[in-house]
Amino acid sequence: MMPSGMEELPDYCRQIESYLCRKNGGHLIRIVGPAFETVRGWASQGVPLKVAFQGIDRCVERASAKAGRRRPLRIEFCEADVLESFDAWRRAIGAGASRVSEDGTGTEEWGTTGRKGSLAAHISRSLSRLLVAKVDGDTPGFNGLIARVTSELDRLAENAKNARGEARARCIARLAELDAELMAAARKGVTATTADTLRREADSELAGFVGRMTAESRERARALAFDRLLRESLNLPVLSYE
Q: What percent of the chain has pLDDT over 70?
A: 82
Q: What is the pLDDT of residue 88?
A: 80
Cβ burial, residue 84 (10 Å; 0-12/13-18/19+): middle
Q: What residue spans of 65-141 are helical by DSSP H?
A: 79-92, 119-130
Give the mean model confidence (pLDDT) for residues 96-112. 38
How confident is the prediction for the chain on average, in pLDDT?
80
Distance CA 127, CA 155 (A): 11
| Domain residue extents for the chain | 4-92, 119-234
Q: Which residues contact 8 (CB under 8 A, 6 or more apart)?
A: 2
3-state secondary structure 15-68: HHHHHHHHHCCCCCCCCCCHHHHHHHHHHHHCCCHHHHHHHHHHHHHHHHCCCC
pLDDT greater than 70 at residue 6: no
Q: What is the pLDDT of residue 198?
A: 92
pLDDT of residue 105: 36
pLDDT digits (tens, 9 = 90+) for 166-213: 888 999 999 999 999 999 999 988 889 999 999 998 888 787 776 777
Q: Which residue has the higher pLDDT, 69 or 11?
A: 11
Q: State pLDDT tens for residues 118-157.
A: 888 888 888 888 887 876 655 567 888 988 999 999 888 8
Q: What share of the chain is helix, strand, coil (3-state, %, to 5)?
A: 65, 5, 30
- Length of the chain as a residue count: 242
Residue 64 near residue 25 (C-beta atoms within 8 A) = no
For residue 112, the model assigns a pLDDT of 40
pLDDT of residue 140: 60
pLDDT at 13: 92
What is the maximum alpha-carbon separation in the chain? 56
Q: What is the pLDDT of residues 211-237, one digit of tens each?
A: 777 788 788 888 888 998 898 888 888
The fraction of the chain above a pLDDT of 90, given in percent, is 19
Please give the average per-residue pLDDT across 80-84, as a whole number.
86
- Terminal CA-to-CA distance of the chain, rounded, Å? 29
For residue 117, the model assigns a pLDDT of: 62
Neighbouring residues of 100: CB distance < 8 A, sequence distance ≥ 6? 106, 107, 212, 213, 214
Does position 67 have pLDDT exceeding 80, yes or no?
no
- Average pLDDT of the segment spanning 76-100: 73
Q: Are 207 and 6 in contact (CB under 8 A)?
A: yes
* Residue 5: per-residue pLDDT: 43
pLDDT exceeds cutoff 60 at 89: yes
Distance CA 48, CA 118 (A): 29
State phi, psi for 207 to the nearest 5 degrees.
-55, -35
Query: What does the pLDDT read at residue 130?
Result: 86
Return the pLDDT at 108.
Answer: 38
